[in-house]
Chain A
Amino acid sequence: MTDAVNADLVNAVVLLANFVLIPATVYGCQLALGALGVTLVYGVLRFSNFGHGETMAFGAMVTILVTWLLQSWQVGIAPLPTALLALPAGIAASAGLCLLTDRWVYRFYRRRKAAPVILLVASVGVMFVVNGLIRFVIGPDDQVFTDGARFVVSVRQFKAATGLAEGLAIKTTQTITVAVTAILVVWLFWFLGRTRTGKSMRAYSDNEDLALLSGINPERVVAVTWIIVGALAAVAGTLYGLDKSFKPFVYLSLLLPIFAAAIVGGLGSPLGAITGGFVVAFSEVLLTYPYKKFLSYLGPEGWRPDGLVQLLSTDYKFAVSFGILVVVLLIKPTGIFGGRST
């Protein structure tokens, strides 16, 4: 009897891990990387960059093109996906794109000390142009570029090894996402906290005039920021494309949860962006997960809830981001870590 109860309990935990914990953690990592880019632009350049989703898509696109080239040369790093090898090219390309758009668009407004809202609108324009560029180059369709081993642990292997009714899958791409995010975040905090360039970025972000007086070259700070933002975007876009699927329009709709994440954490605060990413990801997944099967494992033998026991239909996933955004802006507009008020 106790064995059966224990097995049920383990099954329930495995079920939740498979459908909630692992996907939400991975999604949270992807949102955190995206939100870091948004928050850096906001902190240093002082505007909300709506072009960020397209920067992600652009970086991912270049990575995909280079991946295909490498695949055709039969260069690979199996069992890891070839895309990791191509990622530096994607990073270089999207950093280049960021620098170019800054040169052609944002610098003009920055020199005129334009209001943030004007830069915001300019970034919407950049978004549309880059969006069109991506459609021209790679088309609007789904692109598959994942190769190498698909699973670290597959459902079948897990069931065979444990004898449980529920399976657990860990995809290679999920492991890579978490690992790459951890490395990037550690590097970013080291860079911002310990290096001269990082410190000058923070100084510029805190007080532009004082930073200028103390001899910081603003153009250099801006350029470094864009390069980091481009790199983060390319990595986030590629990881999302690897783990889920690459489709140019998806990145546009990712903007909402990314901004929600950045605002929840406090715009301008890198730590807040990461926290916000996980808050948004877990809220989305937890609120739209139907607990029917989970509860039927926990409840008495043979009992199953009648309905799905789902708080929100999955169609309303984006409503969760909206909801979080509204609540945060109403209650604590500066976000959890007290960034700038929006």
Chain B
Amino acid sequence: MKRVVAGLVMVMLLPLGAAFADDVKLGVLLGYTGPIESLVGPMADGAELAIKEVSDSGALLGGLQVVSVRGDTTCIDSAAATAAAERLITADQVNAIVGGDCSGVTIAVLQNVAKPNGIVMISPSATSPALSTIEDDGLFFRTAPSDARQGEVVADILQEMDIGEAALTYTNNDYGKGLADSIEANFKMRGGTITISAPHEDGKGDYSAEVAALDAVGGDILIVAGYLDQGGKGIIQAALDSGAFDQFFLPDGMIGDSLVEAIGADLNGSIGTVPGTDSPGAARLEEIAGMASGPFVSESYDAAALILLAMQAAGSTDSGDFKDHVMAVANAPGEQIFPGELEKALGILANGGEIDYVGASAVELVGAGESAGNYRQMAVEDGALVTVRYR
């Protein structure tokens, strides 16, 4: 009985709350603790930069304020992430969510919380191919490309370099497994051989045993589908120390200056891929943020911006209304919008115009609402990451 009364009160209060609420709430659901916590700080700042930009402009739906509420996915613990998302939606009553970050928890939150509650989620960094085909009621988008695409790019580069045999190790989670499978499938299709595809756990102090297994089968190059400040770095260091491999392929989770600094000259000659375009958006974001951009920071800014622009286009802050406008504001036709121009974009939309949000990561949503996937081919030369070309 008590529950029924409480339920009735809730039902009566909900519309009231929505009617009186004069601000828009965005959940920023990322792994503030856990194995990618060093990446998440700047990512959340990126998302909140876009939120602040829109809020300060006073141009959203007649001057609505936008506030952000943070929730912790922990990156690995689906139960914790689900609970955090549940809190964001029921207690904080967020209108939409920027997040989650890691693929596994993102899938869990989408299926258990966002979909039943009809809340839009735009993830800046979940890249698992599984998210392309997931049943999402049109609620899920991502400004990160699927790793199915990265697998093609990696295989193309290996083939162009005439590498026939490669050993592969991946971080043991949805991201690593999805990327590893995609690389293996694409590389085989192009006639290459993956000699071994072995998982490694993050957060260990010592990876000499894992490297011993990779060394036992060998290969011309070692593909490390891991995280740069986690197991990936440990694997590379151990492989170099024991002389098992001297050239590495570094997919997106491994690209960062900290890796090059930590490993030093031995990393010269290694190659990699990272989402990126030669569009000027990323540089603009660094300019307005006043800091160097890290991995997925651009995507985080864009995820938050897309949600708010879609609200403006729909004339509603309700997920059910604006979910159909996300693709329209992200893609052509319309005027191109870069970071720092959100106020202009809101103005155009308010006047019934069209925009093509380019943002910091050259957003182009394809398929079920995921980034088309532009990649930078990187190489390590003289102790620095340099861009070879865009793909």
Contacts and interface: CB of A to CB of B under 8 A. Distances in A.
Contact of B243 (A169, A284, A294): A169
Contact of B210 (A244, A291, A314): A314
Interface string B181-223: 0000000000000001011110111101111110111100000
B242 to A, nearest CB: 6
Contacts of A291: 216
A141 B35 CA distance: 9
A290 B210 contact: no
Contacts of A250: 203-205
A283 interface: no
Contacts of B198: 314
Interface of B: 37-38, 172, 196, 198-201, 203-206, 208-213, 215-218, 229-230, 233-234, 237, 241-243, 262
Given A167-B243, A288-B212, 11 more contacts: A23-B206, A23-B208, A142-B229, A142-B262, A241-B205, A244-B205, A245-B205, A249-B203, A253-B203, A308-B213, A314-B212
Given A18-B242, A142-B229, A169-B242, A314 B206 contact: no
Given A240-B205, A244-B205, A247-B205, A289 B243 contact: no
Given A247-B205, A308-B217, A315-B199, A140 B37 contact: yes
Contact of B215 (A19, A142, A240, A249): A19
13 contacts: A20-B212, A27-B206, A142-B230, A154-B243, A169-B242, A240-B205, A241-B205, A244-B205, A244-B234, A289-B213, A293-B215, A294-B216, A317-B209
A115 interface: no
A285 B233 contact: no
B242 A155 contact: yes
A65 to B, nearest CB: 19
B205 A254 contact: yes
Nearest to B196: A308
B123 to A, nearest CB: 23
Nearest to A144: B262
A175 interface: no
Given A245-B234, A250-B204, A315-B199, A169 B241 contact: yes
Nearest to A252: B203
A81 to B, nearest CB: 15
A316 B205 CA distance: 15
A4 B198 CA distance: 32
A204 B209 CA distance: 42
A220 interface: no
A19 B213 CA distance: 10
A142 B233 contact: yes
- The A interface is mostly helix, strand or loop, or mixed, namely helix
10 closest A-B pairs by beta carbon, nearest first, are: A155-B243, A250-B205, A167-B243, A290-B216, A244-B205, A292-B216, A314-B209, A19-B212, A244-B206, A293-B216
A23 B172 CA distance: 24
B205 A290 contact: no
Contacts of B218: 293
A291 B203 CA distance: 26
A291 B216 CA distance: 7
A19 B218 CA distance: 14
B16 to A, nearest CB: 42
A310 interface: yes
A103 interface: no
A107 interface: no
Contacts of A167: 242-243
A13 to B, nearest CB: 15
A232 to B, nearest CB: 18
B212 A290 contact: yes
Contact of A310 (B205, B213, B237): B213
Contact of A19 (B172, B230, B242): B242
Nearest to A166: B243
Contacts, number: 85
A342 to B, nearest CB: 26
A8 to B, nearest CB: 16
B203 A247 contact: yes
B212 A289 contact: yes
B350 to A, nearest CB: 44
B230 to A, nearest CB: 8
Contacts of B217: 292-293, 308
B209 A171 contact: no
Interface in A133-186: 140-142, 144, 154-156, 159, 167, 169, 171
A249 B229 CA distance: 14
Nearest to B262: A144
A312 to B, nearest CB: 10
Given A141-B38, A144-B262, A293-B216, A315 B201 contact: yes
Interface in A1-25: 18-20, 23
Contacts of B201: 315
Contacts of B241: 169, 171
Contact of B208 (A19, A240, A253, A292): A19
A284 B206 CA distance: 12
A293 B242 CA distance: 15
Contacts of B210: 314
Contacts of A27: 206
Interface in A256-311: 284-285, 288-294, 308, 310
Nearest to A288: B209
Most buried by A among B196, B206, B209, B217: B209
Nearest to A249: B203
A285 B229 contact: no
Nearest to A240: B205
A284 B196 CA distance: 22
A275 to B, nearest CB: 21
A195 to B, nearest CB: 34
A285 B209 contact: yes
Contacts of A144: 262
Q: Which of B201, B213, B229, B233 has the most CB of A within 10 A?
A: B213
A253 B202 CA distance: 12
A284 B209 CA distance: 9
A293 B219 CA distance: 13
A250 B37 CA distance: 16
Nearest to A24: B208
A156 B243 contact: yes
Nearest to B206: A244
A18 B244 CA distance: 10
A156 to B, nearest CB: 7
Contacts of B216: 290-294, 308, 310
Nearest to A296: B216
